Amino acid sequence: MKILHLADMHFDSPFSMLDDILNIGIERRIDQRNALKKVIEYVKLEKIKYLLIAGDLYEHEYIRESTIEFINKLFIEIPGTRVFISPGNHDPFLRESYYSNYKWSENVHIFSNNLEVIETQEADIYGIGFTDFYEEELDVEKINIKNKEKINILLLHADLNGNSKYRPVSYNKINNLGFDYVALGHIHKTNYLQSKNIIYPGSAISLGFDELGEHGMIMADIEKGIVNKKFIKLDEKEFIEYNLDISEINSIEELVERINEIKINENNKIIKLIFKGIKNFNINLNEIERLITNKQIIKIKDDTKININIEKIKNENTLKGLFIKQVLNEIQDEKIKNKIIEIGLKSFEKK
């Protein structure tokens, strides 16, 4: 039995950070639409009987009725496929939500606050949805599988990390329930647990640089006691980080030239450039961003160390020495420590 497992689409997300940098919020929302179209085409091509959506299908605060209509029209195109949705913390089943007030296609079932089991010929589908933006821990030990001879699937938006306000659930407790497949949503990293049958598919498309790599859905072929999984890429764009060691670079002109020479073969890569190593000159990120012509790079981070002998200055009987000693004693985080020292030493130079 083949199923598709999708989660964390976040339709109508404002993509605020990306919009501020590149004004690509609308472009990414179009990418969301294209991703769902791919899902539906895959369903048709492979004759998938069950499409499981594990929450955060849309953003409750921003979702428009036109987007709901777009989603529902695609579901109407696959009448032979059962669509199961477990609302998450971004799209909870509220009284004023589209889950409550919109007439969805007949093949769509939306789980609410009470655990339900939908019995089908091939499998029993268990599910429960968020009914608020925050949910307490789910008492999964009360979930009892009715027919252990059948394929049993649990659809859930939950946080298996542990301590959070987004329905924290113990992995061991979930694992001990005996489901053949647990379709999870909430964690945006693909297959977060690396488990054979307790799966996070990750966000369907990347929401930014905190979600690197490929994004898509999981196709699972399930037999009793056997699960074969396949990742299906949905997002044509990919956010990546590119490290550039600038230790041998001695001027902003040389740095800009090096940046513009960076070649990433695929045009669909969106790059965050990270400076590494020792810097030999002052770096003004705004100035560099203005000067570079490499359009694939949309964000730059300075993660370098300053070219000074901290140990030598620390032992000086000067204000600089006293300043560095205090910073080294009071600040533990290495990056913060280096940044404070850099800013502090610059202020000494101005005086």
Express each pLDDT in 100-158 by its tens digit: 999 999 999 999 989 999 999 999 999 999 999 999 888 888 899 999 999 999 999 99
Residue 281 φ/ψ region, left for φ over 0, alpha for ψ in the -120 to 50 degree band, beta for the rest: beta
Mean pLDDT along residues 81-85:
98
pLDDT in tens, 23-55: 677 888 999 999 999 999 999 999 999 999 999
* Of 228, 176, 237, 223, nearest in space to 199 by CA: 228
**What integer pLDDT is reported at residue 23 of this predicted model?**
62
Strand 2-6 to strand 297-302: parallel, antiparallel, or no bridges (unpaired)?
Answer: unpaired
The residue with greater pLDDT, 329 or 148, is: 148
Percent of the chain with pLDDT strictly greater than 90? 61
Q: Which of 104-108, 115-119, 194-198, 263-267 has the lowest mean pLDDT?
A: 263-267
299: Cβ contacts below 8 Å, ≥ 6 apart: 21, 209, 271, 272, 273
pLDDT at 317 over 90: no
| Contact between 236 and 34 (Cβ < 8 Å) | yes
**What integer pLDDT is reported at residue 50 of this predicted model?**
98
**What integer pLDDT is reported at residue 325 of this predicted model?**
83
SS3 content of the chain, % helix, strand, coil (to 5): 30, 25, 45
CA–CA distance, 179 with 225 (Å, rounded to integer): 9
* Of 92, 220, 272, nearest in space to 166 by CA: 92
pLDDT band for position 194 (cuts 50, 70, 90): low
**Helical residues (DSSP H) of the chain, grouped into ranges:** 16-22, 25-46, 65-76, 98-101, 171-175, 252-261, 285-291, 310-314, 319-330, 334-350
**What integer pLDDT is reported at residue 18 of this predicted model?**
63
pLDDT at 266 over 80: no
SS3 235: coil
**What integer pLDDT is reported at residue 342 of this predicted model?**
73
CATH T-level topology, domain 2-233:
Purple Acid Phosphatase; chain A, domain 2 (3.60.21)
pLDDT in tens, 16-30: 666 555 567 788 899
The residue with greater pLDDT, 188 or 194, is: 188
SS3 166: strand
| Contact between 115 and 143 (Cβ < 8 Å) | yes
pLDDT at 322 over 60: yes
Backbone phi, psi, residue 3, to 5° = -130, 155
> What residue spans define the domains of the chain?
2-233, 237-307, 308-351
As beta bridge partners, residue 243 has 274
pLDDT at 299 over 90: no
Query: For residue 298, how far is the Cα from the chain centroid?
Result: 18
The residue with greater pLDDT, 295 or 225, is: 225
Percent of the chain with pLDDT strictly greater than 70? 94
Nearest-10 Cα torsion for 260, 264, 270, 273: -50
Sign of the Cα pseudo-torsion (219, 47, 12, 164, in order) = negative
**What integer pLDDT is reported at residue 104 of this predicted model?**
98
